[in-house]
């Protein structure tokens, strides 16, 4: 990735990963990603904010050593210990043995566990620490649980930049340094929020408020995350985060489902039609075809989740079980939950498929609406029950 100047003597030196298509062996990356790293040259000292994913070390080294000709690095700020940002830290410390790692106590512990960095390489910081680079200062905001317990933000007050690492970032490979295409960045940032930040909504709300106050007080005019474009209009991402993390869901229904012989599919289609006729926004996700990230995005706003499942052996289809486990982990703010589906032969268990699904979702504090199950193909009686479920959903939402 090119070295790009952000402000006088502040550079973007990270790497774009155009080709990566999966993160954590779980999260699809339809638009690639980037590992942003920033170099700050003060009048006396030089600091690097975060490093990059280990396979991209060579590009970071090229940016520092050849393009910017950095011979001495005094500090490396580690805002977060996850290896997509810290993986290259040991190699950079070897290249610049005089450098000290600035990080909080929790992040230090995790960096030592993951990368076996020696104790004397660290300077531990907290909210009151100020590190002078000469004509510039580094300040720190310890901000745990967005999304690890170690996370923090770094503030460069003279330049009004807040380096937020994962927070307010997006998995997006683009040559745009800034969020110039706000529509595209909004979609990517919402997906990132859904996949990474949503389980930590109380913390997200708290830090979004803090960042908002900093922007309103004129302390920052640039938010520089460690994935995706930088936000030179902070209100754009602050407003988006405020909306996504709010407690109030929107009157929307999400139906993740799996169907083996189309019976559950017919039930889903019927329910979708009935909800549409009532003017309710509804999105079905065929779990065999869908991108999990798109489902996660839909869960950000939805008030109702209806899980559709066929039966395999004596319980819900394993794909539905997987979706329930993922949904539980993401902790969406949905207020209502239901389960519908078709079973083949095990009537007693088939009529209770909601119970194992509900047991998989203890983190959802959702009210259970009437489940609907049918043996084999849905007929008039099953469709009537689905109509009743649609009415129940309508009465809850409107």
Binding site for ligand FEO (CB under 6 A): 80, 82, 84-85, 147, 166, 226-227
The pair of three-digit structure tokens given for residue 172, joined into one six-digit string: 């997006």
Q: Which of 169, 350 has the CB closer to ligand FEO?
A: 169
Q: What is the 3-state secondary structure (H, E, C) of 19-42?
A: CCCEECCCEECCCCEEECCEEEEC
Return the ∠ at Cα 24 (arms to 232 and 151), rounded to 5°.
Answer: 50
Q: How far is the CB of 171 from ligand FEO (least distance, A)?
A: 9
Q: Would you say 84 and 192 are in contact if contact means Cβ atoms under 8 Å apart?
A: no
Spatial neighbors of 216 by CB under 8 A, at least 6 apart, are none
Q: How far is the CB of 231 from ligand FEO (least distance, A)?
A: 16
Q: Which of 81, 93 has the CB closer to ligand FEO?
A: 81
Q: How far is the CB of 120 from ligand FEO (least distance, A)?
A: 26
Q: Which of 51, 63 has the CB closer to ligand FEO?
A: 51
Spatial neighbors of 324 by CB under 8 A, at least 6 apart, are 307, 316, 357, 360, 361
Q: Which of 81, 292 has the CB closer to ligand FEO?
A: 81
Residue nearest to ligand FEO (CB): 82
Question: In 3D, which of 48, 43, 39 has the Cα closest to residue 103?
Answer: 48
Spatial neighbors of 118 by CB under 8 A, at least 6 apart, are none
Burial of 294 (0-12, 13-18, 19+ CB in 10 A): middle
Q: How far is the CB of 149 from ligand FEO (least distance, A)?
A: 11
Q: Which of 134, 149 has the CB closer to ligand FEO?
A: 149
Cα dist from 21 to 18, 323, 359, whole Å: 9, 20, 32
Q: How far is the CB of 42 from ligand FEO (least distance, A)?
A: 26
Q: Which of 46, 79 has the CB closer to ligand FEO?
A: 79
Q: How far is the CB of 253 from ligand FEO (least distance, A)?
A: 31
Q: Which of 117, 146 has the CB closer to ligand FEO?
A: 146
Q: How far is the CB of 50 from ligand FEO (least distance, A)?
A: 9
Q: How far is the CB of 200 from ligand FEO (least distance, A)?
A: 11
Give the sign of the dihedral formed by CA 241, CA 283, CA 271, CA 362: negative
Q: Which of 27, 339 has the CB closer to ligand FEO?
A: 27
CA 252 to chain centre: 21
Work out the number of other CB atoms within 10 angstroms of the CB of residue 23: 19
Q: Would you say 102 and 73 are in contact if contact means Cβ atoms under 8 Å apart?
A: no
How far apart are the C-alpha atoms of 58 and 54, rounded to whole Å? 9
């Amino acid at each position: 990735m090119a070295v790009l100047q952000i402000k006088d003597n502040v550079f973007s030196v990270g790497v774009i990963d155009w080709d990566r298509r999966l993160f954590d062996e779980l999260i699809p990356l339809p638009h690639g990603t980037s590992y942003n790293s920033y170099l700050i040259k003060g009048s006396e000292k030089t600091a690097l904010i975060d490093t990059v994913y280990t396979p991209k070390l060579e590009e970071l080294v090229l940016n520092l050593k050849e393009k910017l000709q950095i011979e001495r690095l005094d500090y490396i700020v580690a805002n977060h210990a996850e290896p997509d940002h810290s993986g290259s830290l040991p190699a950079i410390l070897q290249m610049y043995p005089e450098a000290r790692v600035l990080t909080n106590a929790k992040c230090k512990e995790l960096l030592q566990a993951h990368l076996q960095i020696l104790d004397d390489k660290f300077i531990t910081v907290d909210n009151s620490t100020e590190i002078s680079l000469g004509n510039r200062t580094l300040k720190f905001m310890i901000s745990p649980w967005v999304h690890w317990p170690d996370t923090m933000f770094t503030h460069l007050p003279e330049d009004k930049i807040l380096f937020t690492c994962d927070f307010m970032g997006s998995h997006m490979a683009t040559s745009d340094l800034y969020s110039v295409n706000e529509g595209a960045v909004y979609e990517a940032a919402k997906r990132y929020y859904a996949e990474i930040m949503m389980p930590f909504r109380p913390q997200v709300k708290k830090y979004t408020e803090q960042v908002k106050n900093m922007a309103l007080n004129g302390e920052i005019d640039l938010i520089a995350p460690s994935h995706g474009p930088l936000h030179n209009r902070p209100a754009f991402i602050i407003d988006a985060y405020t909306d996504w993390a709010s407690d109030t869901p929107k009157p929307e229904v999400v139906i993740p489902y799996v169907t083996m012989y189309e019976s559950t599919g017919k039930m889903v289609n019927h329910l979708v039609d009935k909800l549409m006729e009532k003017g309710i926004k509804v999105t079905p996700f065929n779990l065999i075809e869908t991108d999990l990230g798109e489902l996660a995005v839909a869960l950000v706003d939805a008030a109702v989740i209806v899980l559709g499942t066929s039966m395999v052996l004596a319980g819900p289809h394993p794909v539905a079980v997987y979706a329930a486990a993922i949904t539980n982990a993401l902790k969406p703010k949905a207020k209502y939950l239901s389960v519908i589906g078709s079973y083949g032969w095990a009537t007693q268990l088939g009529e209770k498929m909601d119970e194992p699904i509900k047991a998989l979702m203890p983190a959802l504090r959702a009210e259970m609406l009437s489940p609907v199950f049918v043996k084999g193909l849905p007929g008039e009686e099953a469709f009537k029950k689905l109509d009743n479920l649609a009415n129940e959903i309508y009465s809850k939402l409107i």
